[in-house]
Every structure is written in structure tokens, then in C-alpha cells.
Amino acid sequence: MASAARFDLCLVVDDDEDILTSIRLLLRDLFRELLTLTDPAGAAEIVAARAPDVVLLDANFGRGATDASEGLALLDSLLAADPDLIVVMITAHAGVSVAVEAMKHGATDFVSKPWDNDRLLATVRTAATLRRQRRTMSIGQLRLVPTGGSPLIGDSPAMARVHSLIERAGPTDANVLLLGENGTGKELVARALHDHSRRADRPMQTVDLGAIATELIDSELFGHVKGAFTDARSDRIGRIQAADGGTLFLDEIANLPLHLQPKLLTALELRKVTPVGANRPVPVDIRVIAATNMTPAMLRDDRYFRQDLLFRLNTVEIELPPLRERREDVRALIDHYLDHYARRYDRRAPLLTFEAIQALIAYDWPGNVRALRHAIERAVVLAGDAPLGPEDFPLGTSAPRVAANAIVTPATDYNLDRVERRLVEEALKKHGYNISAAAGELGVSRAALYRRMEKHGI
């Protein structure tokens, strides 16, 4: 089964051998490799050498310890070495105060002993997916080439406006709404805004509302108390409360169900959240950054989104341009990713022919910077001694224009991969790169559409 695992490596640090055995059995099909430690002293070395997808970290190691001081100290040191590391805290003493403290220190989530197997699996899968998304967006890599103080590459007029808005809005507590197609760098901008703010030394909690099952969003955002519903076996803080003092990044905000939008609006207006099943609200101090790929026209339609919530979220609105509208930045991106992947794969950066560069600049890049990055990585991996030409990049041909109510594919091409790619691209274009709408058109789930987009570099 290991060969079918979705993720590479999970490190589990716990002094209880029985706990380690249980976790190995539970997660063995989710990861290709599971490393376990009973002594926390070796954790930093493994994290530095192997960069695991997820670290499951016990909060207490000393006999009788209950204050989580050991686990929090190790958490701090691991995150200091790798700020993008994903750590899930595990503890037998999972009071709300311990969980809040762990997440304020930078933990992504927490689970309590004894745990519910389905909940633990879902928590770890979500955490590993977040790590993959951070790697995909190359947050840490793009910081290596800052432009105008922002971790975004490009000095085109369109990007100059983005940089300017980040510099002006970042230091304030104003809520910000980020608009743009998939792959344009909305999470990068959110992080830049957080890094420019007075909250930069506090955590930025990221919630991908497109990756959470609809029935779990209420609990994930607002938390719940023990007994609030069938599987609520202990108190659980929500992401809003976990972001207290810092920044809450609500990605794919348009996926928030309409019936929960008034609850979020109330929480933002009153600066208080009421966990599911609780009677008393909890005060919070957060700055909200939201993002969506929904078109402005759809976002301003009451059938899709409450306008009073929109007004609360878009004090400042930043629209990220698609790559096809800032072609002058493509060469800088090419050079950056050629250098990065040459270093990652320990080989010399390949040369590109003039024709290849021109083809890359001329291509419309439906998947934007994310797709360009995938294309460069593939080319570096497969490069030989000869300079790379246009044929070394999966550019294909520009997709044909279609009627607004139809998705077509050339009948003469029966290659399944190419047909699938065309269908995905046409569905995304038809719906303005709204993932939910495109997935519905194609008859697949959002997660399945994301997998196909990653497969084809879209």
C-alpha cells in the first residue's frame, strides 16, 4: 500500500511507544514513510535533513508533565529553523488554553488523546495538503528574490501596483480582499501583507475554505464545545480564535456557505466568536485577509455572496493580474525557476533557445505562475546537454474559443491526456477560473479538479 500513499514523510515525536504504534498503523497508507521518535532531541536533525510533510509533536515528555512547556519549546525551535514547517500538536491534556497556546506558537492544528481515528486522519491529511500547497506556491523560494520588499517576482506596471498596495495596506489593520485567477499568487500577497503588518510576529492562520467539507466549516472556523454534536468528544478551538492577535487568511472565501456568512459577519463586527454548542462568545483580535478566484461580477451578486459581508472584507481590494497580462515579467520568472530547480536537483541550469523564450513569453499560461513553475521544473528534470527549445515545454496550442454554453475538444485528437487538459482549460476559462463552477461543469469534485490541474500544470 505504501506506493499508493499521497504524501512523502511524516515525523511523529512521542515518548509513548503504544501511541507511536497506533499512529504508524493509522497513517501508513497516507505517507510513503513514517519516522517515529521517543526522544525529542533528534527531531531538529531529522527536520533539517528530511523536511517532512507533517510533524506530529507530543506536548509533554517528562513524567507527570502537563503544561506543554517541553513541546512548545521544541515547536518554537523547529519553526525558527523552518517557518513553513507544518506541526500538529498531540496531547493527553488538551484543554482549550493549551491548544490556543500551541497554535499561537505556530502549530497548524492539534489532536487530543484518545483521538477519533477519522478526525486524526482528516487533520493530518489537511495539514500535509497545506504543506504541499506552500511548496507549490514556493513561498520560501520567492522570498529569495524580493522585489520592492515583497516576495513577488515582477516589476511590470501591473505588479508595481500590487507592490504599492501591499506597502500601503500592510502596516494597517484594514481587512483586505484579494482577487485573481488560480496561480496568480494570492497566498504570497497575503503573507506579504502579514509580514508588513504590526502583527508580523504573531501567527497567520490559513483556512482554505475550498478544501474543507461544507458540514465541517462551522466547527473549523468557530470551534465547538464537547457534546455539541455526535463526534464532538472534546472542546476544540476554531481557526478564528487560533488567529487571535495575528492574521486570519480565508482562502477561497466564496466557498463559505451562504448560511454561515452572517455568522462570520457578526464575528468580524463584534470581534467575538461563539463556538458551536457554546452559550458565551469569546473575544478575538484579528486582521482578516480573504481571497477568491470568483469574478467581481459574481462576487457582487447576492445569489453567491452577501454584500454586507463583502463590504466588511474589502476595505482594501487587490486584484492580482494573470500572467498573460504581465508578459514582461515572464523572463525574470524563467530565470528564477531555472536557477532554483537546477540547485534543487543538483545540476547545471539548462540553456534556452531564443525560440523557447519567445514561446514561453507568448503563451497565455492558463494556470499562471504556478503552471510556469511546473513547466520549468519538468524541463530541468528532463534536460539533456542541448539547449531547450519550445518542444521541451508542455505548451500545446492555444485553446479554441467556444460558445458560452459548450465545452468542445477537437474530434481528431484522441490522446486522453491532451483531451483531458483541453476540457479542464475550457471549463476554467468558461467560468472565469472559478473552481467550484468549473468542477460542477466537468462533473467532478473540487479536489479532483485540483488534482487534474496539478497533473497538467494548469
CATH number of 239's domain = 3.40.50.300
The per-residue pLDDT for 279 is: 82
CB 192 within 8 A of CB 152: yes
Q: Is 287 domain-assigned? A: yes
Higher per-residue pLDDT: 30 or 228: 30
C-alpha cell recorded at residue 314: 474589502
Q: Is 58 domain-assigned? A: yes
Among the candidates 349, 378, 395, a domain finishes at 395
* CATH code, 423: 1.10.10
Residue 273: pLDDT over 80: yes
389 in the same domain as 429: no
Residue 140: pLDDT over 60: no
Higher per-residue pLDDT: 289 or 148: 289
pTM for this predicted structure: 0.60
Phi, then psi, of 248 in degrees rounded to 5: -110, 115
Q: State the Cα–Cα distance between residues 248 and 204, nearest whole angstrom.
A: 6
**Percent of the residues in the chain that have a pLDDT greater than 70, as a whole number:** 85
47 in the same domain as 16: yes
* CATH code, 335: 1.10.8.60
CA torsion through residues 299, 300, 304, 305, sign? positive
337 in the same domain as 306: no
Q: Is 29 domain-assigned? A: yes
255: DSSP letter: G
The per-residue pLDDT for 146 is: 34
Alpha helices in 293-367 (DSSP H): 296-299, 307-313, 330-344, 354-362
346 in the same domain as 239: no
Mean pLDDT of 376-405: 73
Q: State the Cα–Cα distance between residues 195 and 203, nearest whole angstrom.
A: 10
Among residues 22, 97, 30, which one has the least CA distance to residue 59? Answer: 97
The per-residue pLDDT for 325 is: 94
The per-residue pLDDT for 219 is: 86
313 in the same domain as 410: no
Average pLDDT, the chain: 82
Q: State the Cα–Cα distance between residues 344 and 112, nearest whole angstrom.
A: 37
Provide the 3-class DSSP secondary structure of residue 446.
helix
Lowest mean pLDDT: which of 61-75, 212-226, 339-353? 61-75
Among residues 383, 382, 328, 386, which one has the least CA distance to residue 360? Answer: 328
Residue 440: pLDDT over 80: no
443: DSSP letter: T
Mean pLDDT of 48-72: 83
**Percent of the residues in the chain that have a pLDDT greater than 90, as a whole number:** 33
* CATH code, 102: 3.40.50.2300
Q: Is 130 domain-assigned? A: no
Structural domain of residue 457, as residue ranges? 398-458
The per-residue pLDDT for 141 is: 37
Q: How far is CA 283 from the centre of its chain?
A: 27
**For the ranges 3-12, 314-323, 433-442, the one whose mean pLDDT is highest:** 314-323
The per-residue pLDDT for 147 is: 33
- Tell me how far CA of residue 231 lies from CA of 69, 81, 235, 236, in angstroms: 29, 36, 11, 11
Beta bridge partners of 109: 88
- Going through 300-390 in order, the beta strands assigned E by DSSP cover 316-319
313 in the same domain as 441: no
Among the candidates 96, 123, 150, a domain finishes at 123
Among the candidates 395, 428, 446, a domain finishes at 395
The per-residue pLDDT for 448 is: 72
216 in the same domain as 87: no
Q: State the Cα–Cα distance between residues 276 and 77, nearest whole angstrom.
A: 34
Mean pLDDT of 350-378: 91
Pairing between strand 109-112 and 54-58? Answer: unpaired
Q: Is 134 domain-assigned? A: no
Higher per-residue pLDDT: 288 or 98: 288
C-alpha cell recorded at residue 105: 506558537
Lowest mean pLDDT: which of 326-335, 375-384, 427-436? 427-436
Q: Is 379 domain-assigned? A: yes
288 in the same domain as 343: no
Residue 411: pLDDT over 50: no
Q: Is 133 domain-assigned? A: no
371 in the same domain as 224: no
Mean pLDDT of 93-107: 69
* Residues 6+ positions from 40 with CB-CB distance below 8 Å: 13, 57, 58, 61, 70, 74
274 in the same domain as 151: yes
- Tell me how far CA of residue 168 lies from CA of 147, 176, 197, 249, in angstroms: 15, 12, 10, 18
For residue range 166-181, list pLDDT tens digits in order. Answer: 999 999 999 999 999 9
Q: Is 34 domain-assigned? A: yes
The per-residue pLDDT for 311 is: 93
C-alpha cell recorded at residue 25: 498503523
Higher per-residue pLDDT: 29 or 411: 29
Residue 203: pLDDT over 70: yes
The per-residue pLDDT for 442 is: 81
* Cell 507549490, residue located: 136
* Cell 488554553, residue located: 97
Confidence of residue 162 (pLDDT cuts 50, 70, 90): very high
389 in the same domain as 409: no
Residue 410: pLDDT over 90: no
Domain count of the chain? Answer: 4
315 in the same domain as 332: no
Residue by residue, what is the 3-state secondary structure of 226-246?
CCCCCCCCCCEECHHHHCCCC
CB 72 within 8 A of CB 105: yes
CB 234 within 8 A of CB 189: no
* Cell 529553523, residue located: 81
The per-residue pLDDT for 174 is: 93
Among residues 270, 361, 358, 362, which one has the least CA distance to residue 312? Answer: 270
C-alpha cell recorded at residue 7: 504524501
For residue range 413-433, list pLDDT tens digits in order. Answer: 567 777 788 888 888 877 766
Residue 394: pLDDT over 90: no
Mean pLDDT of 71-84: 87
- Tell me how far CA of residue 332 lies from CA of 11, 191, 227, 372, 393, in angstroms: 36, 21, 54, 12, 17
The per-residue pLDDT for 135 is: 61
The per-residue pLDDT for 246 is: 92
Residue 41 burial by Cβ neighbours in a 10 Å radius (0-12, 13-18, 19+): exposed
The per-residue pLDDT for 95 is: 55
Q: State the Cα–Cα distance between residues 394 and 389, nearest whole angstrom.
A: 11
The per-residue pLDDT for 4 is: 43
* Cis-peptide, bond into residue 114, ω within 30° of zero: yes
Confidence of residue 439 (pLDDT cuts 50, 70, 90): confident
Residue 447: pLDDT over 70: no
